[in-house]
């Protein structure tokens, strides 16, 4: 049972709360933040709120259920700092915060817990984009998911939309005064539920890579299929389809306005794709060689000033000056060893130290293929946690 499915008594003292957005503002501003995470240790180890200025303490909620809390538990909690208590959904943290306030601690609790944290979705302009129109990068800090909205002359397209934020894209387009014309996926995602079909249901033209259909996409005939070289027009901005298999057999990138290559999970600003999510460990070496060919022949042959924008960022990624997770190709070649080695060495280092596979990735893939259905709440729960779609960053940079 998740902790917030339990019935916790109402605290006897008032407990102040902090919104996920306000907490993120504190972290982004570099303010010291102390978090008391009351989830189970396994959940905490898999996924938590981090940052250079964040001190995170994990003490499971059940340690606070007795009237007499063990002194060894209380000794782990600073009594001279402001503390934000959090849990999965907000129930346990409210209770734990109340028990600590009664004991003289200065605490509040995070509204809606990690579920609230997962609801943060920010749009940041890519200032170095010099193609037609304007390009925004959507950022989901809880999982590192990234998407891209390009708009020009009353039209717009979204690349790698998330189902959980379908309404957000439509609202943003309305606020910008543009017609959301296309919703485009780079591949069959393994870490989040795609929003392409939901947007297509709302009158947006849904686009999936033609190369991904053979994986068993059940709804392929209902959407537009993008083949290598196909172009989609948004005002004066052209979105060109660039087939870049490796992470998956259908992995496809999109060159937006000739200025930014939305690479999906092929190449990130701190790493390259992991190659084992489609065919498993047995097929990973061949997929890694396919990825090497895609990077060398389809990506790195573009001009050095073309920006790379992946579908994810990790804790190791540093944002650019404009706050986006983008970087010029030339800069990545200089800083990422994996982009300048030969094929055999590339395969060796990519396979050397891959992280755990994304949580629930098999169910997420099946959902994105249309082979199973989940409601909105189930979809949101499936994708909670880290994305883990990249290979080991340390191995690739040599740091």
Range of the domain at 99: 3-117
3-state class (DSSP) for residue 300: coil
CA distance 143 to 265: 14
Domain end, chosen from 83, 117, 151, is at: 117
pLDDT recorded at residue 390 = 74
Same domain, yes or no: 365 and 292: yes
Cβ atoms of 268 and 312 closer than 8 Å: yes
Which tens digit of pLDDT belongs to each residue from 92-101?
A: 999 999 999 9
3-state class (DSSP) for residue 151: strand
3-state class (DSSP) for residue 158: strand
- Which residues, other chains included, contact 245 with Cβ-Cβ below 8 Å and sequence gap of 6+? 211, 251, 290, 291, 294
pLDDT recorded at residue 392 = 59
Same domain, yes or no: 98 and 218: no
Closest listed residue to residue 385, CA positions, set 27, 188, 114: 114
Residues above pLDDT 90, as percent of the chain: 80
Which tens digit of pLDDT belongs to each residue from 66-99?
A: 888 999 999 999 999 999 999 999 989 999 999 9
Same domain, yes or no: 144 and 158: yes
Task: Give me the residues paired with residue 262 across strands.
Answer: 254, 309
Domain end, chosen from 117, 147, 177, is at: 117
Which alpha helices (DSSP H) does the chain contain, by range? 20-28, 41-46, 71-74, 91-101, 113-117, 166-176, 196-201, 280-294, 329-335, 343-352, 361-369, 376-382, 393-397
Q: Is the pLDDT reported for residue 64 higher than 60?
A: yes
Cβ atoms of 269 and 223 closer than 8 Å: no
3-state class (DSSP) for residue 231: strand
**What is the DSSP-derived secondary structure letter of residue 194?**
B
Same domain, yes or no: 41 and 180: no
Same domain, yes or no: 10 and 47: yes
Which tens digit of pLDDT belongs to each residue from 168-211?
A: 999 999 999 999 999 999 999 988 999 999 999 999 999 999 99
Tally of domains within the chain:
2
Which alpha helices (DSSP H) does 29-117 contain, by range? 41-46, 71-74, 91-101, 113-117
Domain end, chosen from 75, 97, 117, is at: 117
pTM (global) more than 0.85? yes
Q: Is the pLDDT reported for residue 358 higher than 80?
A: no
Same domain, yes or no: 289 and 376: yes
Same domain, yes or no: 263 and 374: yes
Which tens digit of pLDDT belongs to each residue from 260-271?
A: 999 999 999 999
Same domain, yes or no: 61 and 129: no
Task: Give me the residues paired with residue 165 across strands.
Answer: none
Q: Is the pLDDT reported for residue 6 higher than 70?
A: no
pLDDT recorded at residue 1 = 35
Query: E strands, the chain, where?
Result: 17-18, 33-37, 54-58, 83-86, 107-110, 122-125, 134-140, 145-152, 155-159, 179-184, 205-209, 224-226, 231-234, 237-243, 252-256, 260-264, 307-310, 327-328
Which tokens is 18 given? 């902090």
Q: Is the pLDDT reported for residue 398 higher than 50?
A: no
Cβ atoms of 211 and 250 closer than 8 Å: yes
Domain at 231, CATH number? 3.60.15.10
Same domain, yes or no: 69 and 216: no
Domain at 39, CATH number? 3.40.250.10
Which tens digit of pLDDT belongs to each residue from 365-396?
A: 999 999 999 999 999 988 887 777 777 555 45
Q: Is the pLDDT reported for residue 247 higher than 50?
A: yes
Same domain, yes or no: 224 and 106: no
pLDDT recorded at residue 327 = 97
Question: Measuring CA to CA, how many Å separate 397 from each of 275, 337, 349, 350, 355?
Answer: 17, 5, 10, 11, 15
pLDDT recorded at residue 3 = 41
- How confident is the prediction for the chain on average, in pLDDT? 92
CA distance 141 to 301: 31
Which tens digit of pLDDT belongs to each residue from 122-155?
A: 999 999 999 999 999 999 999 999 999 999 999 9
Which tens digit of pLDDT belongs to each residue from 308-324?
A: 999 999 877 889 999 99
pLDDT band at 273 (very low <50, low <70, confident <90, very high): confident
Same domain, yes or no: 20 and 80: yes
pLDDT average, residue stretch 37-59: 93
Question: Measuring CA to CA, how many Å separate 304 from each of 26, 166, 239, 300, 301?
Answer: 35, 34, 19, 8, 8
Same domain, yes or no: 12 and 138: no
Cβ atoms of 156 and 125 closer than 8 Å: no
Cβ atoms of 115 and 39 closer than 8 Å: no
For the chain, the first-to-last Cα distance in angstroms comes to 41
pLDDT recorded at residue 5 = 46
Closest listed residue to residue 160, CA positions, set 382, 306, 310: 310
The pairing of beta strand 224-226 with beta strand 205-209: parallel
């Amino acid at each position: 049972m998740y902790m917030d499915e339990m019935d916790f008594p109402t605290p006897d003292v008032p407990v102040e709360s902090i919104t996920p957005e306000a907490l993120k503002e504190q972290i982004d501003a570099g303010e010291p933040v102390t978090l008391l995470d009351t989830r189970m240790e396994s959940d905490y180890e898999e996924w938590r709120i981090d940052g250079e200025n964040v001190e995170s303490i994990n003490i499971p909620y059940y340690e606070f259920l007795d009237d007499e809390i063990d002194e060894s538990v209380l000794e782990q909690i600073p009594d001279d700092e402001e503390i934000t208590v959090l849990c999965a959904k907000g129930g346990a943290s409210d209770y734990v915060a109340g028990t600590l306030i009664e004991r003289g601690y200065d605490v509040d609790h995070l509204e809606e817990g990690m579920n609230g944290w997962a609801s943060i979705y920010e749009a940041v302009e890519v200032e170095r984009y010099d193609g037609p129109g304007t390009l925004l990068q959507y950022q989901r800090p809880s999982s590192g998911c990234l998407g891209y909205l390009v708009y020009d002359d009353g039209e717009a397209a979204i690349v790698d939309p998330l189902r959980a934020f379908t309404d957000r894209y439509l609202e943003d387009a309305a606020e910008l005064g543009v017609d959301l014309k296309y919703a485009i996926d780079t591949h069959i995602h393994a870490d989040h539920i795609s929003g392409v079909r939901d947007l297509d249901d709302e009158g947006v033209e849904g686009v999936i890579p033609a190369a991904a259909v053979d994986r068993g996409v059940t709804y392929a005939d209902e959407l537009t299929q993008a083949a290598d070289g196909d172009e989609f027009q948004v005002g004066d901005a052209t979105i060109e389809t660039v087939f870049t298999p490796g992470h998956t057999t259908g992995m496809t990138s999109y060159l937006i306005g000739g200025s930014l290559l939305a690479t999906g999970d092929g190449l990130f600003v701190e790493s390259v794709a992991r190659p084992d999510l489609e065919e498993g460990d047995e097929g990973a070496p061949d997929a890694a060689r396919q990825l090497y060919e895609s990077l060398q022949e389809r990506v790195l042959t573009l001009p050095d000033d073309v920006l790379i924008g992946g579908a994810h960022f990790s804790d190791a990624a540093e944002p650019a000056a404009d706050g986006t997770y983008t970087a010029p190709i030339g800069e990545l070649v200089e800083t990422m060893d994996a982009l300048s080695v030969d094929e055999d060495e590339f395969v060796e280092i990519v396979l050397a130290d891959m992280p755990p596979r994304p949580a629930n990735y098999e169910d997420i893939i099946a959902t994105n293929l249309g082979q199973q259905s989940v409601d909105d709440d189930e979809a949101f729960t499936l994708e909670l946690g880290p994305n883990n779609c990249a290979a080991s960053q340390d191995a690739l940079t040599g740091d």
